[in-house]
Each structure stands twice: as C-alpha cells, then as structure tokens.
Amino acid sequence: MKRILYFFITIMAIAFTACSGRKGYFTIEGRFLNMNQGELYVYSNDGLTNGIDTIKVNGGRFSLDIPCKRKGTLMIVFPNFSEQPVFAEPGKSVDIKADASHLKQMTTTGTKDNELMSDFRQAVASASPPETVKMAETFIKDNPKSQVAIYLMNKYFVCSGNTEYVKKAKELLPLINQPDNGGLVRMQRNIDMLLASCKGNMLPAFNATTTDGNSVSNATFRGKTTIIFTWASWSFESENMMRRVNTVINNAGGSVAALGINVDASAKICSRVMKNESLTYPSVCDEQLFESKLLSKLGLHAVPDNIIVGADGKVVARSVPIDEIERYLR
C-alpha cells in the first residue's frame, strides 16, 4: 500500500512539474500547423525583457524559457509581422497552438490570463472594429484584475489615435484593480499627455539631443509639416515606417521634416541602423527605453507610434497607420 501511495505521489509531482515552468522563468511551448520551419520574435513593451529574443520553429514546434521575476506582457512577432500578446508569470508555463494561415485564432493555455485572451481573440474574430472596441470595454469592466485588461486598454483605447477613445480610457482606468502594477501610473501619465496634445492642440514644448549631438526642439520644425515617430531595431513595422518617411522627405524638397525617437537600450545600435538605412532625418535615443521623458511628454508609448504636426505647430493627427503616412505628409 505504501509503495502504491509513493508511486502515486511521485507521478503527481512529475505531472505538476511538467505543467509549471522553472522557478524564476516563464516557459513558452507551442506548435504550428502549416509552418514547419521558421523564426518567431519576442519583445516586451513593459520592460519584462530587453531587446528581442528569437524562437526557432523546427518540425512545427517551438519553445522558449525567459527569465521572469514579475508579471508582464510579451509580444510574439510572426513571420508575416503580425503580433499577438502572451502574458508572463514567474514559474509558469503556457502552451500555444496556432495555424500559420489563421494567426488571429491562436490559442494559449496554461494560465488564466492567457486563456482569457484566447477567449477574447475568438470572440472578436468576426467582429467589426466598433464592435471589438465595445467588447474590449466590457472585458475591462468584467476583469479589472487581469493583465489582459491593461493590454486591451492600451491597444484599443490609449493607442487608438481617437481622442474619444482616449477619454474613455481615462474613465475606465480607475476601474482596473491592480495596486501593485506600476505600469498603471505610466498609463495615466500617457493618457493625460495624449489629451493635452490631441488633434488641434499645439505640440507640447520639448528639448532633446540627437544621436549626432545636435539640439532639437519643437521650434526646430516650425514652418514644416513634421512627423515625430517611435522606432526600434527590433520592430519590423517601425523599420518599415522609417524607410517610408525617409522616401517622403527626400521627395518633398524641404517642405517635410521628421524626428525619430528610438527606444533601444543603446544609442550605438540606433546610430548603426540609421547609417545602414541611409536615413536623412535625426533621431533621439536617450537609452531610457519606454521610461524616456521625451516619450512621456509627447504621449508616445508604443512602437511604432507617431504624431503628425502642421507647419503652425498644431497636431494634425496621431497614430496614423503606415499606409496613410504619405498622404498625410503630402
């Protein structure tokens, strides 16, 4: 009887270990349909990781162990450059199932937050944009303690580029019951800055130093249509924006200007990318990542993100999609 009991306890311990991650780490295991070999990339906007990690896909399977001492959000970048969030917790493990041809239907199991996100992803798969925003609002109200609530708040309200949605974020933020989450303070600051510099208002005054040592301020760009945007060496979408902006400026005959704000941890990396891409506009890299005071002052808090300013110094638009940037700048 004792042997049977010992055997049972041992099996349960092994099963428990298999279902949880290593202490101090967050583990991602996954498998793909319709993708046998390839690479995925992982980064974090909330400081959980620095830079970008690479996940190799072999035989349709992949795995990654990430050092993790607190809860946080990881963004997985797929080969088509679409992104999906995974919510990390110390000592936890999740399993991802995805079809490479239907990535929006990805499911993640193993923790409550990831399962909630999977349910939300399925629920909005066929919803219109306004319906999706309404469903995100309902989720935030129903799950104020979830990491998913913060992600949805940021994605659908704070980063929307829509002043009314930003105002709604200000209403919803007090409902989120996470007193130990320092990111909420940053989000409140971002919302206030966004509302202060929304469409039609003057761009907030700022001073910064570019990677080539020159001083730059809001007055530098007065008299020109200007785009101020965030970018990083690990964000493929922002690199696409960098190239498009460069093309517009080179064809504009001096009537359009740009300022890049790089969120890499190293100004050397920023300078190297600028040189390799032959960029003709300046960039600022204060090596403070998303804690940058310049980002906070301008209400920029994602990569990529942007503000378009008219020649009179007033904000014309925010968070303009990449495909529409040329039209706004022209």
pLDDT at position 9 is: 46
Average pLDDT along the chain: 84
Q: Which CATH number fits domain 20-114: 2.60.40, 2.60.120, 2.40.160, 3.90.1310?
A: 2.60.40
More confident residue, 134 or 180: 134
Q: How far apart are CA 248 and CA 326, in angstroms?
A: 7
Evaluate whether the domain defined by 207-329 bears CATH number 3.40.50.300: no
pLDDT for 116 beyond 90: yes
User: Residue 271: what residue type?
Assistant: S
pLDDT at position 20 is: 52
Of 143, 155, 138, 141, the closest CA to residue 114 belongs to: 143
Whether residue 256 contacts residue 248, with contact meaning beta carbons closer than 8 Å, is answered with yes
Of the listed ranges 189-198, 211-220, 260-269, the least confidently predicted one is 189-198
Calculate the CA 186 to chain-centre distance: 14
Query: Alpha helix (H) ranges present in the chain?
Result: 2-19, 112-123, 129-142, 147-153, 163-172, 183-196, 236-251, 267-277, 293-298, 325-329
Of the listed ranges 8-17, 117-126, 259-268, 305-314, the least confidently predicted one is 8-17
Of the listed ranges 83-92, 168-177, 273-282, the least confidently predicted one is 273-282
pLDDT digits (tens, 9 = 90+) for 135-188: 999 999 999 999 999 999 989 998 877 888 989 999 999 999 888 787 788 788
User: Residue 312: what residue type?
Assistant: D
